[in-house]
Amino acid sequence: MTKQTKTAIVPTRVEDYSKWYQQVIKAADLAESSPVRGCMVIKPWGYAIWENIMHAMDDMFKSTGVKNAYFPLFIPLSFLEKEAEHVEGFAKECAVVTHHRLEKGADGGLQPAGRLTEPLVVRPTSETIIGDSFSKWIGSYRDLPVLINQWANVVRWEMRTRLFLRTSEFLWQEGHTAHVSKEEALERTQMMLDIYAKHAEEYLAMPVIRGRKTASERFPGAVDTLCIESMMQDRKALQAGTSHFLGQNFSRASGIRFQSAKETEEYAWTTSWGASTRLIGGLIMTHGDDDGIILPPKIASSHVVLLPIIRKDEDRQKVMEYTQSLSRELKDIKYHNRMISVEIDDRDIGGARGWDWIKKGIPLRVEIGPRDIADNSVFVARRDKDHRNKESIKRNQFVGEITSILDEIQKILFDRALSFKKEHTIIIDDKKKFNDYFTPENQEKPEIHGGFALSFWCGSDECESKIKEDLKVTIRCIPFESDTGTGKCICCGKSASGRVVFAKAY
């Protein structure tokens, strides 16, 4: 923590939000850039967050009948070429393998040698190769539905990268399903979006808006794309999950056919849906403060850190025995399908020890010294409160109430984020006010600030493109719970029905 700003993170969010974000990741020891440009190393504290996200989401998927599988990292180029809109959408982001071995060159260095008969694309998404498997697995309506998910890495060659939010390689899950009818596929598309929204709000404590993407923002090759959008503390939007109704487009391309109950040959109706490690970036930007990340307890890497206070050697054994005994007691408690996770930090580094855990965002910090032991108490600090706010609690009370305390922290984080989103979501019908709202020089004015603007849009690609070009603002979604009234398009002034969500975005 610096004396100048009295915060653990420099610069602060107000001073430089982008650099603040990078410093939070560094201070919390979440991840670091790798030797491969645009890629990252996810460190244990950061990966534990992803594991907890995975476990919660995986349980939710499986409760609907989805099963996990794994498909190849390499996709034949010809597979991508089968669906024209799909390959066009991903062509600029594809990494391509053209050779299969290395040999020494004339200068003694290594060089590619064996050229592949057909280039292989490093998986940017798996609709085409999974479609090939589906075409082999499905022959009859009795084989449907097929409900598959995979946890994997993908590569999308990014030029401008940022840890967690946009990297050339990232981790995600991608679900793929095939159905006998359009109605069943549409129901699955909506069901998976609802799971993403439930996970975001109940586990990540991130309030979201559910909606539909415009035609220009749809997943390449999809008939319809549903999404959830969340507001970050710089008032930009983050897409936190998407679910796509693919119609029969990919079935026709991959030959996913089945014999119906009426003995006619039909193409299956398919869906795909995904969420990635960018959720960790969203978590940081939704809840973090100028002292570091704040982790919602349901997905926190660990729930509590025990900090033994040992000032005399003769106190060491007593303090450590008490600490370890408390640790064992806490680890026997179940909290939302996880056992309480406990860290013990007995490093002799003074006040820096506590600040390390503040920056890591652990929900509860518990100090234990000889006086606390004598009183059979613990000294507790919560990450959702000021770092100076500490409370002495009887040990038995703390153990008995820890799950309630964690739930309270979880709720407070969600309520804060929801209040922030509501405060910075406004209805705008005047074009000048709209332009001012998203103009950088007006961002510092408290009465004219960026955020989510609910405005009318005529539905034309021209107006959508012009707003994007002029203001770097996009239609994040057409919300399901939209104003169904009529008004004038915020761009061209023509008649329009229903408001959409405009925002700058990551």
Domain-terminating residue out of 228, 260, 287? 287
- Separation between Cα atoms, residue 385 and residue 397, nearest integer Å: 20
Please report, for residues 125, 139, 177, 260, 359, the alpha-carbon distance to residue 146 in angstroms, rounded to integers and kept in the order given: 18, 12, 5, 15, 44
- Report the share of the chain in percent with pLDDT over 90: 89
* 57 in the same domain as 205: yes
At 480, which CATH number?
3.30.110.30
**The pLDDT value given to residue 445:** 55
**The pLDDT value given to residue 3:** 45
For residue range 56-72, what is the model confidence (pLDDT) as tens digits? 999 999 999 999 999 99
Does 460 have pLDDT greater than 50?
yes
How far is C-alpha 35 from the geometric centre of its chain's CA atoms? 24
- Average pLDDT of the chain, as a whole number: 95
* 164 in the same domain as 71: yes
Structural domain contains residue 1: no
**The pLDDT value given to residue 448:** 55
At 202, which CATH number?
3.30.930.10
- Separation between Cα atoms, residue 79 and residue 200, nearest integer Å: 33
Does 484 have pLDDT greater than 80?
no
Structural domain contains residue 7: no
Structural domain contains residue 246: yes
User: What range defines the domain where residue 440 resides?
Assistant: 425-503
pLDDT category of residue 236 using cuts at 50, 70 and 90: very high
Q: What amino acid occupies position 424?
A: H
Edge-to-edge strands of the sheet including 304-308? 342-344, 304-308, 364-368, 377-382, 390-394
Structural domain contains residue 9: no
Task: Read off the pLDDT of each residue in 451-471 and give the average, rounded to a whole number.
Answer: 96
* 306 in the same domain as 277: no
pLDDT category of residue 443 using cuts at 50, 70 and 90: low
Does 290 have pLDDT greater than 90?
yes
* 492 in the same domain as 370: no
Name the packing angle between helices 395-423 and 278-287 (round to 10°): 90
* 414 in the same domain as 431: no
pLDDT category of residue 2 using cuts at 50, 70 and 90: very low
**The pLDDT value given to residue 4:** 46
For residue range 302-347, what is the model confidence (pLDDT) as tens digits? 999 999 999 999 999 999 999 999 999 999 999 999 999 999 999 9
Which residues does 203 contact at the CB level (< 8 Å), separation at least 6? 53, 56, 296, 298, 299
Does 483 have pLDDT greater than 80?
no
For the question of whether the overall pTM of this predicted structure is more than 0.75, the answer is yes
Structural domain contains residue 346: yes
* 187 in the same domain as 85: yes
Structural domain contains residue 4: no
Structural domain contains residue 442: yes
Structural domain contains residue 10: no
Task: Count how many domains the chain has.
Answer: 3
Domain-terminating residue out of 401, 421, 441? 421
Does 92 have pLDDT greater than 50?
yes
* 430 in the same domain as 416: no
For 253, what's the count of Cα atoms within 13 Å in the CB-facing half-sphere? 23
Least confident of 195-209, 219-233, 370-384, 483-497: 483-497
* 330 in the same domain as 210: no
At 411, which CATH number?
3.40.50.800
Give first-to-last CA distance, the chain, whole Å. 29
**The pLDDT value given to residue 359:** 98
Question: What is the secondary structure of 292-349 as a DSSP string?
Answer: B----GGG-S-SEEEEE---SGGGHHHHHHHHHHHHHHHHT-EETTEEPPEEE-----
Does 423 have pLDDT greater than 80?
yes
- Report the share of the chain in percent with pLDDT over 70: 97
For residue range 134-189, what is the model confidence (pLDDT) as tens digits? 999 999 999 999 999 999 999 999 878 899 999 999 999 999 999 999 999 999 99
Domain-terminating residue out of 421, 437, 453? 421
| Tokens coding 293 | 């990340």
**The pLDDT value given to residue 449:** 64
* 308 in the same domain as 283: no
* 62 in the same domain as 200: yes
How far is C-alpha 504 from the geometric centre of its chain's CA atoms? 17
Task: Read off the pLDDT of each residue in 109-121 and give the average, rounded to a whole number.
Answer: 94
- H or E element, residue 239: strand 237-247
Q: What are phi and psi of 273, to 5 degrees?
A: -160, 145
* 182 in the same domain as 49: yes
Please report, for residues 28, 48, 156, 408, the alpha-carbon distance to residue 40 in angstroms, rounded to integers and kept in the order given: 15, 15, 13, 33
* 278 in the same domain as 303: no
Q: Are strands 452-456 and 425-427 parallel, antiparallel or unpaired?
A: parallel
